Amino acid sequence: MRRSVGWYVALVAAVSVERVAELVVARRHQKWAMARGAVESGRGHYPVMVALHTGLLVGCLAETHWRRTRFNPSVGYPMVAAVVAAQGLRWWCITTLGPQWNTRVLVIPDVPLVTGGPYRWLRHPNYVAVVTEGLALPLVHSAGVTATTFSILDAALLTVRIRTENRALAAGGRPHTA
């Protein structure tokens, strides 16, 4: 069990590093957007989103430690594949939107809506990645409480987030979001 916990810690650490990279990219893109007259919507839910996603990462490790969960290969390996696929989809979204992508809801006047890449098929493809990762990452190492708790809280948060983005789109601006 010790070895499976070690590589799970490494996986969660890698996802954490990926999240920090997202924040660095988002900050750079935010400066770009603000220089073009962007206005932010949904500021109130942003700290909640950051806390929830941080809680996911901490919860994965805490539950594994406290409950002494075990790696179940029949569930764990498919969940690793789902985590990797979620990261691929997330970065496909980021590269498709380019500097218009952000973790915040930023509306830049007169910038056309991106309809290529995964946006060709889904209006909010990054949230497919978020939901997949939020369920799969904890289940890699049987952290079902974390998977369930995050998924319920994230569903409530995404309801607010998607409404915020859709309102910004309907208002004529184009949000540049995660």
Whole-number pLDDT of residue 89: 98
Whole-number pLDDT of residue 110: 83
Inter-residue contact 60 to 143 (CB < 8 Å): yes
What domains lie within the chain, and their CATH numbers?
A: 2-175 (1.20.120.1630)
Inter-residue contact 107 to 174 (CB < 8 Å): yes
**pLDDT tens across the length of the chain (178 residues):** 456 689 999 999 999 999 999 999 999 999 999 999 988 999 999 999 999 999 999 999 999 999 999 899 999 999 999 999 999 999 999 999 999 999 999 888 888 888 999 999 998 999 999 999 999 999 999 999 999 999 999 999 999 999 999 887 777 554 444 5
> Which residue bears the tokens 């939901």?
131
Integer Cα distance of 68 and 27 in angstroms: 37
pTM confidence score: 0.90
Residues with Cβ within 8 Å of residue 116, at least 6 apart in sequence = 96
Reduced to 3 states (helix: H, G, I; strand: E, B; else coil), residue 33 is helix
Whole-number pLDDT of residue 175: 44
Integer Cα distance of 177 and 128 in angstroms: 14
Whole-number pLDDT of residue 174: 47
Whole-number pLDDT of residue 109: 84
